[in-house]
Structure 1
Amino acid sequence: MSVDFTGLDDSPIFTGFLPAEMTTLSSVFTQKEMGEGKTVFVENMQGESLYLIKHGTIRISKMMAEGDEEVLVVLGPSDVFGEMALFDGAHRSATARVAEAVTLLCLSKTDFEILSAKDSALCLKLALNIIRLFSGRIRSSQAAHRDLLLDALGRSH
């Protein structure tokens, strides 16, 4: 069964994909509906899927030492999260909760590996887009940390 990618053309994981490639990808993603307040995954849980938001919002948070949760970012339509699970299957580094009822398109690590065996060129194209997305997040995070340190030291950027 294929999922519908309508309205997700601007998602960074689909950059440069042809219509036929999108059709192939739509057959390996699954769709999941979740209500407000539900948990997609929790920090330290085994990672097993990438998620693409079709509708709604997701709040990504991190547990702090005092047991409080600090919201890191709120994501909306076309945003991707949990992407590293496709490559390493390691434990989640944050918690993802539904802030506003959401439709998620999910790609499991297993389905990613099956796609890789069937169509390695398509899988490589998808992997490169995911890596570009992840690299951009790391660069942005490093810049934010640098600015925070400079602010704390009373220096200008």
Structure 2
Amino acid sequence: MRRGGSYSQSLKNIALFIALFVYESLAGLLSFLPPLLGVFFLLLVHYDKEDNFWRFCIILSMLFVVEIFNDMPLGILLVLFLVLRYMAFLYVDTLNAKRFLAVLQIALVYFGLYLVLVAFKSFGNLYLDINPLILVYYFVVETIVASFYEYSI
């Protein structure tokens, strides 16, 4: 009976959550750090395919942390990610270009986020003001981060 493996896996999951929480705290303080929404989406899809429940839950909890730190309505990123995962990417998954697919997913996450923020702003929530150029910058940085991850596999 191996119990050491489950303890080490639990410690890895806790360390992942703490590292992501510290990064999101820094991203809230330093505006040039992206919130890694595209990377979170790629990880969410990856852990959903792997059936890794605990890491899936860590990514979901980090979505709520991002929403709290950025004063977004709670659950809006989860709804956006579910819509993108189960509606938009049913058609995109038929492409064979794996490297282009990651870039396309990150682009759709930020485009969807922009549409959601514009919709909420039109309903009267004036606190959700974001510049599209900032979203383009976040997209470029996260594409570079995702490409490093893809090439390291």
TM-score (norm 2): 0.32
TM-score (norm 1): 0.31
User: Which protein, 1 or 2, shows the higher relative CO under an 8 Å CA cutoff with sep ≥ 6?
Assistant: 1
Higher helix share: 2
